[in-house]
Amino acid sequence: MDLLMENVTIFTHPLIQHKISILRDKKTGTNEFRALIEEIAMLMGFEALRDLPLQDVEVETPIETCMTPMIAGKKMAVVPILRAGLGMVNGILALVPSAKVGHIGLYRDEKTHEPHEYYCKLPSPIEQRTIVVTDPMLATGGSAIAAVDFIKQYGGKHIKFMSIIAAPEGLKRLREAHPDIQIYVGHLDRQLNENAYICPGLGDAGDRIFGTK
């Protein structure tokens, strides 16, 4: 049974926990790391998208014609926070291939840990879509809060935020800043360290996905 707080789901599924443990291992190389991020995003997405709207369509089976539910897929957008959030996109698109993809470019200042925006492009009409924001790491929460701020400024309303590992500090800040969004967390870690890295965490997610360090 996943752990539920108001607006927050923390996953306990053994497959998700197992894959996160392999991610944490510093010996896990770029290829495997990238594949695992995608798989975990898909497993989390399966649950996070359980309230996607359905519409009945007519289908002819070999036996008879019937009305049967299908996902109204045009109504979804995946919005990764660059760079690391990109690693989760294909996992969600595997579930809903017709979803549109927006991008929000943010990087954390190494000293202040404050997020800085460098890019934002969202599919329109954004206000009618279920928007899934992806970022493997929710650390101080600054990037997640800024990304959701942007999406709301552009008119986004139905927002879900998905992170693979979260620190309690960031989860608390995000919930306080945006109490109206749904938050999905693969594992809630212990704390942030003095450099605002998650402990035990997995290190720098962007660098591990893209092999840049």
CB 141 within 8 A of CB 173: yes
Query: Would you count residue 171 as binding ligand URA (CB under 6 A)?
Result: no
Q: Which does 189 bind (CB under 5 to 8 A by kind): ligand PRP, ligand URA, none?
A: none
Size of the site for ligand URA (CB under 6 A): 9
Among 76, 137, 159, 183, binds ligand URA (CB under 6 A): 137
Q: Of 45 and 85, which has the nearer Cβ to ligand PRP?
A: 85
CA distance 36 to 38: 5
Q: Which does 19 bind (CB under 5 to 8 A by kind): ligand PRP, ligand URA, none?
A: none
CB of 135 to ligand PRP, least distance (A): 5
Query: Would you count residue 169 as binding ligand URA (CB under 6 A)?
Result: no
Residue type, 74: K
Residues with catalytic roles? 108, 112, 204, 207
CA distance 202 to 9: 20
Q: Which does 198 bind (CB under 5 to 8 A by kind): ligand URA, ligand PRP, none?
A: ligand URA
CB 99 within 8 A of CB 80: no
Spacing of C-alpha 154 from chain mean position: 19
CB under 8 Å to 159, separation ≥6 — which residues? 131, 133, 148, 151, 152, 178, 180, 181, 182
Residue ranges binding ligand URA (CB under 6 A): 84, 137, 139, 197-198, 201, 204-206
